[in-house]
Amino acid sequence: MNPSSPAAQVDPVLVRDALQRLLQSSFVPDGSVLAKMLSHVVERTLVGDGRSIKAYTIAVEAFGRPSDFDPDRDSAVRVTAMRLRTALDLYYAGPGADDPLRIRMVPGSYRPLFEPAAVQAAPAPAGESMRPASEADEEPVRRARAPALAGWLAALTIILALNVVMTVSLMAYQLRGDGVTEVQAVKPAFKGVRTAEKPPQRDPVYDLIRHNVQRSFQQSVE
């Protein structure tokens, strides 16, 4: 079934089933403005009145706007259509991925499209590779990713090597700085030792007594 085929060639039962699944989901919940627009355009298309789907008719008939609604001044219909397209894409990318029929919105229009589910591939003939189709499909992707992965690994190796060199250099610099600091710290210690070894100064009274004794006995007294 061609997605652009007229609604007369689409099974209305499948379309309405697809519509009900959408209305029962959290993406286009029944009663919301998105559900009102989707239900309106789908039913109009199924009865062969798709040409009457306009922003004005959607606003008046689906949203209940007054008859003096001006779509050029009020963008409510356009904004709702954009939100509806996004909601449909999200639904069919998630919980509705296995639905037999999908309802889409024509870009730049308010008319819906009815798309059948993708036809599954026929089983491989006997004697051919029994590798799953998903694995076979992933093989070209793996080959394409291999050069990029090798490049990343090479870059990572270079970065790690530079980090090691920088770390070793920094450690050597710190060790050299610590050695100089230790030598400088030892010098004052030796100075302190030499200072401690200096003989203490004699008391002036002692010198005076010693001088008098020397004069009395005319000899050196230690």
Domain final residue, candidates 78, 100, 116:
116
Task: Specify whether 49 is located in the same domain as 99.
Answer: yes
| Spatial distance between the Cα atoms of 121 and 106, rounded to a whole number of angstroms | 28
Under the banding of pLDDT at 50, 70 and 90, the label for residue 183 is very low
Identify whether 133 is part of a domain: no
Under the banding of pLDDT at 50, 70 and 90, the label for residue 143 is low
CA nearest neighbour of 19 among 39, 49, 3: 39
Specify the DSSP element, H or E, that contains 101.
strand 101-105
Domain final residue, candidates 65, 99, 116:
116
Compute the mean pLDDT over every residue in the chain, rounded to the nearest whole number. Answer: 74
pLDDT of residue 142: 61
Task: Specify whether 50 is located in the same domain as 99.
Answer: yes
Identify whether 131 is part of a domain: no
Task: Specify whether 94 is located in the same domain as 24.
Answer: yes
Domain final residue, candidates 94, 116, 138:
116
Kindly report, residue by residue over 31-52, the tens digit of the pLDDT. Answer: 999 999 999 999 999 999 999 9
Task: Specify whether 111 is located in the same domain as 153.
Answer: no
Task: Specify whether 152 is located in the same domain as 62.
Answer: no
- 8: which residues sit within 8 A by CB, 6+ positions away? 48
Task: Specify whether 158 is located in the same domain as 80.
Answer: no
Task: Give the distance from CA 38 to its chain's centroid.
Answer: 33
Task: Specify whether 15 is located in the same domain as 108.
Answer: yes
User: Which DSSP string do the residues of 162-214 spell out, in sequence order?
Assistant: HHHHHHHHHHHHHHHHHHHHHHHHHHHHHHHHHHHHSPPPPPHHHHHHHHHHH
Query: pTM here?
Result: 0.52
Identify whether 106 is part of a domain: yes
pLDDT of residue 48: 92
Task: Specify whether 100 is located in the same domain as 163.
Answer: no
Question: What is the maximum span of the chain, computed from C-alpha positions, in angstroms?
Answer: 151
Identify whether 124 is part of a domain: no
Task: Specify whether 33 is located in the same domain as 95.
Answer: yes
Kindly report, residue by residue over 7-21, the tens digit of the pLDDT. Answer: 547 899 999 999 999
| Spatial distance between the Cα atoms of 103 and 84, rounded to a whole number of angstroms | 11
Higher-confidence position of 195 and 201: 201
Residue 46: domain span? 7-116
Identify whether 20 is part of a domain: yes
Kindly report, residue by residue over 110-124, the tens digit of the pLDDT. Answer: 999 999 986 444 444
Please state the domain count of the chain. Answer: 2
Identify whether 184 is part of a domain: yes
Q: Which residues pair with 103 in a beta bridge?
A: 114
Task: Specify whether 100 is located in the same domain as 11.
Answer: yes
Task: Specify whether 103 is located in the same domain as 199.
Answer: no
Task: Specify whether 48 is located in the same domain as 103.
Answer: yes
